């Protein structure tokens, strides 16, 4: 066994103790009731793009707290109004939804695409939610002293509402909704897989929001913000860890019931392999993990092709 094989074998056996709070399932049951109780009020406006074979819309829908959330909804023009499989995409930390034409490759596979802003970050979506405590740079520590005010709760419920909107569209095949993203987006994709009954499959690339206590201690990810908060307010360390435990994919992975593909780079210092395998190893549904020994925090073209192949096969598209 060479050193690469040994490293992968060790990671596949990695099973840190769960940090599940006693009331986690009650918390999520209540949260999902709140999401479902509020109708997905939304509107979409046609927009022009330089791509003549793309139909594009600007979508605005409301978060649970009434914050207007923005997304692109794009379809291949040749499909007309026929029902298409839909992939819901979440971007990485500090990013945004970009431009509609960024998603043209998905249209070539026959997908409709819903590309969603994560609130407050680098897209067009703001945040109406107030901060009950001071924060450090970035968004991760907003409301971090309480599970009900935590930024991770807010962006997770936003993601769930985005998937609900996609499932309600008359030109979407609601039985063939895929969820995908990288880094922060990969973490949200896994959270949706664990909490929503609308998704049929998930691809989570180099996902964050996994084994977050380890990430706070060791990674260079956005969780350094949580670490800095705890360093600045050491009296709140235990509360920070407790709050994050409600949104740690590792603690929710057993709830995933759909096929999942995950990717990991063994040189990734942002979403470290230990964090990803800690969550992946606890998924009980059909799953596959693509391990790239020499990549860091990025996704290569080869893996994007593997993703397309996985989705075509899993959703029986062709």
**Annotated catalytic residue 297:** yes
Q: Per-residue pLDDT for 45 more than 90?
A: yes
Mean pLDDT for 153-177 is: 97
Q: 260 vs 19, 28, 61, 194, 231, CA distance in Å? A: 23, 21, 27, 11, 36
> Shortest CA distance to 125 belongs to which of 153, 165, 162?
162
Q: How confident is the model at residue 134 (pLDDT cuts 50, 70, 90)?
A: confident
**Annotated catalytic residue 173:** no
Angle at 254 between CA 248 and CA 260, to 5 degrees: 90
The model carries a pTM of 0.97
Better-predicted residue by pLDDT, 316 or 106: 106
Q: Per-residue pLDDT for 159 more than 80?
A: yes
pLDDT tens sequence across 264-287: 999 999 999 999 999 999 999 999
Distance of CA 5 to the CA centre of its chain: 29
The reported pLDDT for the residue numbered 263 is 98
Query: pLDDT averaged over the chain?
Result: 96
Mean pLDDT for 55-82 is: 95
Query: How many Å apart are CA 141 and CA 90, to the nearest integer?
Result: 20
The reported pLDDT for the residue numbered 38 is 87
Active-site entry in 180, 183, 219, 263: 183
Q: Give SS3 for 252.
A: helix
Active-site entry in 70, 91, 211, 297: 297
pLDDT tens sequence across 194-242: 999 999 999 999 999 999 999 999 999 999 999 999 999 999 999 999 9
Q: Which two tokens stand for residue 226?
A: 């949580």
**Annotated catalytic residue 128:** no
Active-site entry in 117, 158, 164, 268: 268
The reported pLDDT for the residue numbered 203 is 98
> Which domains does the chain possess?
3-314 (3.40.50.1820)
The reported pLDDT for the residue numbered 128 is 86
pLDDT tens sequence across 215-225: 999 999 999 99
Share of the chain above pLDDT 70, in %: 100
């Amino acid at each position: 066994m060479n050193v690469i094989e040994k490293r992968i074998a060790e990671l596949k056996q990695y099973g840190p103790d769960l940090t599940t709070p006693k009331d986690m399932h009650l918390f999520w049951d209540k949260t999902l009731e709140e999401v479902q109780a509020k109708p997905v009020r939304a509107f979409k406006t046609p927009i022009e793009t330089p791509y003549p074979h793309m139909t594009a819309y600007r979508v605005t829908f409301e978060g649970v707290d009434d914050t207007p959330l923005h997304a692109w909804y794009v379809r291949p023009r040749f499909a007309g109004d026929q029902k298409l499989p839909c992939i819901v995409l979440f971007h990485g930390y500090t990013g945004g939804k970009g431009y509609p034409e960024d998603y043209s490759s998905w249209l070539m596979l026959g997908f409709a695409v819903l590309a969603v802003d994560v609130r407050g970050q680098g897209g067009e979506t703001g945040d109406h939610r107030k901060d009950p405590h001071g924060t450090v740079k970035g968004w991760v520590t907003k409301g971090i002293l309480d599970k009900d005010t935590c930024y991770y709760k807010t962006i997770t419920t936003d993601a769930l509402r985005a998937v609900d909107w996609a499932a309600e569209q008359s030109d979407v095949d609601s039985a063939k909704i895929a969820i995908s993203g990288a880094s922060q987006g990969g973490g949200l994709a896994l959270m949706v897989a664990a909490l929503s009954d609308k998704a049929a499959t998930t691809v989570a690339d180099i996902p964050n929001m996994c084994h977050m206590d380890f990430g706070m201690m060791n990674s260079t990810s956005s969780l350094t913000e949580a670490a800095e908060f705890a360093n600045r307010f050491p009296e709140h360390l235990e509360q920070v860890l407790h709050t994050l435990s409600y949104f740690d994919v590792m603690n929710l992975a057993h709830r995933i019931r759909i096929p999942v593909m995950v990717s990991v780079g063994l040189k990734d210092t942002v979403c470290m392999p230990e964090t990803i395998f800690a969550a992946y190893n606890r998924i009980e549904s059909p799953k596959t993990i693509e391990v790239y020994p020499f990549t860091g925090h990025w996704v290569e073209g080869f893996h994007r092709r593997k993703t397309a192949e996985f989705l075509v096969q899993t959703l029986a598209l062709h």
